[in-house]
Structure 1
């Protein structure tokens, strides 16, 4: 490998807060990694793949950053999502145990985060109160807060585990995610993932009818409005409108808030998206009854 890939790896390592020793541990020698980062040595594809895995960066994301312009981690979340849709608790338990074993073997922070994410899905499928331990929640928060550049992995992980966290942590992490994912927003569908984080945050902060509006909800709504969503991002745009409607309801503008949401419901019905229409309509009625 050449073309100054070592310099890019060093930049990512520094941004994610890894020392040479931490990144090299169990993969290669510190001196070898140092030479590669200075472009004084070549590296095999196998070693390079292991280094990127530890950094939670896929090949696509690495080369995107390298050119200024993801698939172990993408496959991981695809598998988790598939198991969730299929309600496959057996496979999820296997995945959880594999991540737990790797964490205990190597101390991998990524494996510990993956274990926490899988536990969250298992609890959802079992309709159980979150079983995640307090030290895991603090670890997850510290990991995400200290990442200097958020990529697809961090955004997906946060989206999946957000509701494990107290409001104060969510406010801090969403602000961090928005500010530290600027590189990723430029990647294919990156803006959609960031929009999803902001949408879920606003749902978290505004979805309980009889609570006062959270003081930071307006800030996150402004972030969402700043995103350059394309013509094909229909769901993100309509979801943004629904959130705006609930924010209006929460701040006392009942007539305008209800109108915004009912307009979206009418749009869903007009294009045959009856399930989306029913979901928003059911919750709107519940919300209005409990204001």
Structure 2
């Protein structure tokens, strides 16, 4: 049976060894808090946040405990989308099929966009048909472009479709993304989202031989990758920095960064990403330039 709001608060409070009086103090009366735990009343949002702070538990963890046994199918799909590695295409195909089954029963704008995102990446990496992949990506942008305000999930989708634009347009969108993320400064999810956007912008700029601009983006995100221990992103950033240094005649330093990228991926045993990294390096350093859409590495997780 799914737990109610008050049941979860009571469970956490008891596990912490706190009294109702301690939790309620400075927020509401003890009698009112007791009614919250009995599911007779619900606190305002601000009071709920204050209670969670007193219980030393995050909003995300509380929601997980509350919903882990009662997630809707839509919530499960969104969670899977946010956690799937877009470079692991078997997982992406399974998610695409799950979304397709959901849409046969219920039409939903967001879930439809997630389907377009999955379909575009699958097409791109199975047929290399850029125009067909862009066809689905543009459907996402048609809806997103109408919004004055983007939220974090919107920005993740926008990050995915950056490749449909020329680099100068993508950079302008990136600036708009940065501005939209300003209210979320110091929030981990927002900073990691910005990391992913900037790493993807860097490869578009490398493709256009705008090495200085690409390096600026990478230099900003490398410290954040370390701060949040985002090792996949750090490896990609190091590798792309190595490409830039190689192309700008800093060959010795280039090798050092590429070696760092390999070392990270070997350490975390991500063999799939390691193989994709090798292909990207070959495209840019051995075989000559190809369109970024034909590369398998795309940073979205």
Gaps of 5+ in 2: 1-44, 46-58, 61-70, 289-301
Alignment of 1:1-291 (within 5 A): 75-80=76-81, 81=84, 85=91, 87-88=93-94, 90-95=97-102, 101-102=107-108, 110=110, 113-114=113-114, 116-124=116-124, 126-127=126-127, 129=129, 130-131=131-132, 137=138, 140=141, 143-144=144-145, 146-148=147-149, 150-206=150-206, 208=207, 212-213=209-210, 216-225=213-222, 227=224, 229-230=226-227, 232-269=229-266, 271=267, 273=269, 275=271, 276-290=273-287
Query: TM-score by structure 2 length?
Result: 0.54
Checking the alignment, whether the CA contact within 8 Å between 1:123 and 1:131 is kept in structure 2 is yes
Give the C-alpha shift of residue 257 in structure 1: 1.5
Larger radius of gyration: 2
Alpha-carbon distance in 1 for matches of 2:203, 2:75: 25
Distance 1:212 1:285 in 2: 16
**Whole-Å Cα distance in 2 between the matches of residues 117 and 289 of structure 1?**
30
Q: CA deviation at 1:126?
A: 4.9
Deviation at 1:267, TM superposition (A): 4.4
How many angstroms apart in 1 are the aligned matches of 2:136 and 2:274?
A: 40
Root-mean-square deviation (Å): 4.1
Paired residue total: 214
Residues 101-146 of structure 1: CA distance to partner in whole angstroms, max 9, x if unpaired? 45xxxxx6x5664454344245346535243677972871673585
Distance apart, 1:96 and its partner CA: 5.5
Greater mean alpha carbon deviation, residues 238-247 or residues 182-191: 182-191
Partner of 2:5: none
Displacement after TM superposition at 1:284 (Å): 2.8
1:19 — aligned with what?
none
Paired position in structure 1 for 2:19: none
Instruction: Tell me, yes or no, if the aligned pair for 1:241 and 1:261 is still in contact at 8 Å.
Output: yes
- Structure 1 residue 280 displacement after superposition: 3.1
Instruction: Provide structure 1 residue ranges, at least 5 long, that are not aligned to the other structure.
Output: 1-44, 46-58, 61-70, 103-107
Name the CA distance, whole Å, in 2 between partners of 1:133 and 1:176.
Answer: 21
Shift of 1:282: 4.7
- Compute the displacement of 1:85 (Å): 0.5
Instruction: Summarize the Cα distance change of 1:167–1:142 in structure 2 as closer, same or farther, 3 Å threshold.
Output: farther
Structure 1 residue 219: Cα displacement: 4.1
Spell out, residue by residue over 1:180-229, the C-alpha distance to the aligned partner (whole angstroms, 9 max, x if none): 212334334332222112112212332x4xx5236642442344256474
